[in-house]
Structure 1
């Protein structure tokens, strides 16, 4: 027989092994056994009998690929509003509430070297000289964006586009075919795209004749225009002048209060 010390060590080791086995059995019960957690749930015969909150139950749920209730809280994050999309949608709707901005200018055609005019016989061309009364155009805003309606100041007729892409003049410009979108290009010229027929632009040939919108593209010279003020026409912004007011200098008293000094005579 061994020494008493070795026998005691063997007994302690045997007890430690038994304790570990008992702990493992409590965490991993065999199939068919019942296990009840602190929350009253358990498994019986491989079947769930309730919802417990024990460590073994959590581990089984996670191993099965399910999320135990109450462990995590769903957080709903609302995406911020898309302001660009809102502006794009509102730009397609006629604004009936805001005050309309009215501008007066001429449209200089890049190809013909003349100005767009609306004649009394409802003809539209780009053969007007600078300062011609028929070349004076009144541009009304349709939305808070860049959509406008263009009409001749002399005749009052609106520039519109029919379904064939031909420019026509109408006395009533409320239709969408009389609305154009101002597009500022990289070369600082302006293109006017029809709001009803997207991709169709106001265009004129070298002889000043209107070109069909179905044959136009944004990069073509025929659709490039430059805004010019009529001769002798001055904007209200140019007539405004800054006024400078001369206030007398102030001095600081002993108590830290500002007092105005007397003006020099």
Structure 2
């Protein structure tokens, strides 16, 4: 057996180890998971006291450990959250209004470009030329341009003076209308009266084709907006200043002249001869049987 002195020393050493372990556990519990410990709390309080004393003495506040990092992180955090999202992408819903408006600008610019180009005469593109008659809804006759420069809607179907040549002025629906027999353009003067001109380059000889809800077509003058080509029941032209889009006088129907053939090939039905359909004796199965001769 060992001496009593060695046993006493071993017991004291064991008690010392137990006391140290208890102190370590208490310090870990006081700090908590992820939170500052007692030592950190004491350091923060001492730093706050020193900074308050420095403010009273009008001296620059001493820098505490981690204070600069907090300020930098606080300053940089709003920039990151405003411009960057998770994964480095843009943060949705936090972009300035100017950037959001920029995304809608191309559409508005394109629409404005189309409107502006629709009002400008196109001299470079290939013009689309069509030939048809204008059937007046009120008079029941067709519009004609006579050699004496008179315009009315009293022509019968197939009349040579009722044959009109319509050529596009822009890539939109603006057209110039002239008589095929006389070569005179249908124009409108400042009083709203329909006149015939040999030179139809003016804006008063340009009309906009408007397809209405009832499938009729209205021709609005490009120079005098709101004024339409119109004819009375007797086929006489009506002043454009007294016309409105809903009136029957401004409604026309585009019809092909009599004897005029389109360039499109007519499609015909093709009939295929199949053997007659019969049933078997049992009735459960259906078979194809040749037609008895």
Offset from partner CA, 1:40-90 (integer Å, 9 cap, x none): 999999999x999999999999999999999999xxxxxxxxxxx322221
Q: C-alpha displacement at 1:238, in angstroms?
A: 3.6
C-alpha contact (below 8 Å) 1:34/1:45 kept by paired residues = no
Structure 2 gap segments, 5+ residues each: 42-82
Offset from partner CA, 1:242-264 (integer Å, 9 cap, x none): 99999999999999999999999
Q: C-alpha displacement at 1:169, in angstroms?
A: 0.1
Which piece of structure 1 moves more, 252-261 or 199-208? 252-261
CA RMSD of aligned residues (A): 13.3
**Are the structure 2 counterparts of residues 56 and 5 from structure 1 closer, same or farther at C-alpha, using a change threshold of 3 Å?**
farther
C-alpha contact (below 8 Å) 1:130/1:230 kept by paired residues = yes
Structure that is richer in strand per residue: 1
Q: TM-score, normalised by structure 2?
A: 0.54
Greater radius of gyration (CA):
2
Q: C-alpha displacement at 1:11, in angstroms?
A: 33
**Are the structure 2 counterparts of residues 242 and 125 from structure 1 closer, same or farther at C-alpha, using a change threshold of 3 Å?**
same
**Are the structure 2 counterparts of residues 192 and 11 from structure 1 closer, same or farther at C-alpha, using a change threshold of 3 Å?**
farther
Structure that is richer in helix per residue: 2
Structure 1 gap segments, 5+ residues each: 26-31, 74-84
Match of residue 70, structure 1, among 84, 108, 114:
108
List aligned pairs for 1:165-184, cutoff 5 A.
165-184=192-211
Match of residue 201, structure 1, among 218, 228, 243:
228
Q: C-alpha displacement at 1:109, in angstroms?
A: 0.0
Q: TM-score, normalised by structure 1?
A: 0.60
Deviant stretches of 4+, over 3 Å: 1-25, 32-48, 50-73, 238-265
SS at match of 1:218: coil
SS at match of 1:45: helix
SS at match of 2:275: coil
Report the number of matched residues. Answer: 247
Which piece of structure 1 moves more, 251-260 or 141-150? 251-260
SS at match of 1:71: helix
**Are the structure 2 counterparts of residues 223 and 263 from structure 1 closer, same or farther at C-alpha, using a change threshold of 3 Å?**
same
